[in-house]
Amino acid sequence: MGAKQLRDLVEIQIEKSTNFWAGRPKMTIQELEAVERFAKEKSKLFEKVFDSPEKIEKINKMQNSAL
């Protein structure tokens, strides 16, 4: 799997997680701040995740097992 495809899968998963938390009624300020921090950190995640083919392959296997 190419880095772009994997990045797209990670992006979709992040969006699903963010939508789940952001869509909850009666969120606390702490939860809102956590969602905001998570969204800001995702670019750092991509920098770390996609720095080697071995990591890309490992993430691909993890993604496939989660489906």
pLDDT in tens, 6-64: 778 778 877 777 666 666 666 677 877 887 788 777 766 666 666 677 777 777 787 77
C-alpha dist (Å) from residue 16 to 23, 40, 66: 10, 16, 14
d(CA 43, CA 33): 17
Structure confidence at residue 5 as a pLDDT band (50, 70, 90):
confident
Helices (H), the chain: 3-22, 29-49, 53-66
pTM, 2 dp: 0.32
d(CA 67, CA 60): 11
